[in-house]
Amino acid sequence: MANKEVLTGAEILIRCLEAENTEFIFGYPGGSVLHIYDALFKQNKIQHILVRHEQAALHAADGYARSTGKAGVVFVTSGPGATNAVTGIATAYLDSIPMVVISGQVPTSLIGNDAFQEVDTIGITRPCVKHNFLVNDVKELASTIKKAFHIATTGRPGPVLVDIPKDITAHTTMFEYPHTIDMRSYKPVVSGHPGQIRKAADLILSAKRPVIYTGGGVVLGNASEELVEFTRLVGYPITQTLMGLGSYPATDAQFIGMLGMHGTYEANMAMHECDVLIAIGARFDDRVTGELEKFCPYAQIVHIDIDPSSISKNVKVDIPIVGAVDSVLQEMTKTIRESGQQPDSDALANWWAKIDAWRSNNCLKYDRDSVLIKPQFVIEKLWEVTKGDAYITSDVGQHQMFAAQFYKFDKPRRWINSGGLGTMGFGLPAAIGTKLAFPNEEVACITGEASIQMCIQELSTCKQFDLPIKVINLNNRYMGMVRQWQEMFYDSRYSHSYMDALPDFMKLAESYGHVGMQIEKPEDVEGALREAMAMKDRLVFMDFLTDQTENVYPMVAAGKGQHEMVLAPEKETA
């Protein structure tokens, strides 16, 4: 840098964020970060989004990161600011979301003295970050921020926390931001091994009953185009995890639905009976595999992942390939094309016939003639009204599963939900980050009356920053998934799952300056959705009073295999 300047640590931090092309900072000020906020006040390149709770700052930055692929940035103060942020950090960590979290810390002279608002932020967050740093010298601040962004956004992404004592933000030094960074101990593998790719291609082409199983790594790796090309080249059935939805078009005939605990009958049965499983950017999560001893008993497994620690972690695989999924899929597709070989067309036709027979079960059917609003019906109508093109965030529970089952995602990064940690309260702040990233796109938060109350104060943030999000509240007056488990596994002992002190959501939304609606009849659902979507400049909170008894099916219970699904009782279907 030609003209080096002497700046405070706080000013250096802001300059570093500008150099990383940061658009938004999501945060909440406090004593330990006031020097930073003062430096922030003096610039106009980065917009700060003031949330009403630190957890929401993390979720909003998370929504921004998931929808854009860029790192979300967060400011929190020391002590309770940092501890309030831990749930959001863990949410991002378990779903591999790139984030840089700047936490304030008490002055270095007071660290370890039980000072006011002091906690061991490094120790507390170590289990749920990709990496964290404590800055002890202002001269190290710029290089530390560069490292934080590099670690957060490369390899398997994840949140990185930088803890900065208050005195460091006041100290001065010459500022120079490194253009590149080299870390001897951190060298993610990008290209897959050519020999392993050739072995995998041979196995894939020899398959009689193949299945392609993809996860969130395809979305995070921006490998959707490569996945579509590969899948259509081989003509195999493809299933996706909750986190992988949208990386392959859900409306395409080769897509056999989501797999796992609430996956489709055809996807889970195909997984159980396949002879070659091609796992791409997926981690064999317990909600996908069911009972491990019963998982894919006939299959040889190819596993492509950028994180070597994920391979054979839960399920032993036959051909591991470590590398970025986009480059590995490119090489795999090239290898198959150049081989001149074709899949066994007769075997593949027989396999598709079997899958189509499973499909004929119509495992997602529900009572379309009900006089009560069915949550599935609301999601289907939302998909129709938005033409399947909206950004959908969700909270956690039955509504999340219904959204995954009935909103057909054809594009990646349109489905934004907490998969690994399952964090209630995620949906609304995640919608804030998404709407800020894409102000001209429709953003809808699908939630339930229990989840929405976890971070409902962020309706104030939406008002302050004029964010016309559409909130779809599937209100069954229960903690729906808890009630479902209590019905199925606890002899209908509904212990503390009934929400018997709910607010009037219409009035609550209106009190924040938004539009409130309550919908009670199925015939009013579509009209209400169209009316809400037409209000381009207003947040609309839509309170749908849904059938309290509706459960999510299919379901693979704990201890069961993928082929041991519980389907909807006939009395509950049309």
Among the options 70, 130, 166, 470, which is catalytic?
A: 166
Among the options 481, 517, 542, 565, which is catalytic?
A: 481
Euclidean distance between CA atoms 169 and 153, whole angstroms? 25
Beta partners for residue 540, in sequence order: 470, 515
> DSSP letters of 190-212?
-SPPHHHHHHHHHHHHH-SSEEE
Among the options 117, 300, 341, 518, which is catalytic?
A: 117
117 catalytic? Reply is yes
The tokens describing 443, both together, are: 């953003």
Task: Identify the three-state secondary structure at position 443.
Answer: strand
Rounded to 5°, the CA angle 533-534-536 comes to: 85
Torsion sign (Cα): 410, 413, 419, 422: negative
481 catalytic? Reply is yes
Euclidean distance between CA atoms 59 and 159, whole angstroms? 12
Residue type, 284: F
Among the options 18, 41, 45, 116, which is catalytic?
A: 116
Residue in 238, 237, 245 with CA at minimum distance from that of residue 219: 245
CA 406 to chain centroid: 17
The tokens describing 546, both together, are: 């849904």
Among the options 11, 20, 54, 442, which is catalytic?
A: 54
Euclidean distance between CA atoms 121 and 78, whole angstroms? 8
Euclidean distance between CA atoms 162 and 75, whole angstroms? 10
**Residue 523's CB: how many other CB atoms inside 10 A?**
9
> DSSP letters of 4-35?
-EEEEHHHHHHHHHHHTT--EEEE---GGGHH
The tokens describing 235, both together, are: 């003509």
116 catalytic? Reply is yes
Name every residue whose Cβ is closer than 8 Å to that of residue 440 and which is 6 or more positions away in sequence: none
What's the chain's length in residues?
574
Euclidean distance between CA atoms 19 and 2, whole angstroms? 15
Beta partners for residue 5, in sequence order: 175
Euclidean distance between CA atoms 97 and 162, whole angstroms? 16
166 catalytic? Reply is yes
Phi and psi (nearest 5°) for 74?
Answer: -135, 140
Q: Which residue has the tokens 């969130």?
A: 216
Euclidean distance between CA atoms 459 and 51, whole angstroms? 10
Name every residue whose Cβ is closer than 8 Å to that of residue 141 and which is 6 or more positions away in sequence: 9, 12, 13, 16, 135, 164, 168, 173
Q: What is the DSSP letter of 452?
A: G
Residue in 271, 275, 276, 243 with CA at minimum distance from that of residue 256: 271
Name every residue whose Cβ is closer than 8 Å to that of residue 51 and which is 6 or more positions away in sequence: 26, 27, 28, 57, 60, 429, 432, 458, 461
Strands (E), 84-129: 99-105
Name every residue whose Cβ is closer than 8 Å to that of residue 509 and which is 6 or more positions away in sequence: 459, 471, 515, 516, 539, 540, 541
Q: Report the catalytic residues.
A: 54, 116-117, 166, 481
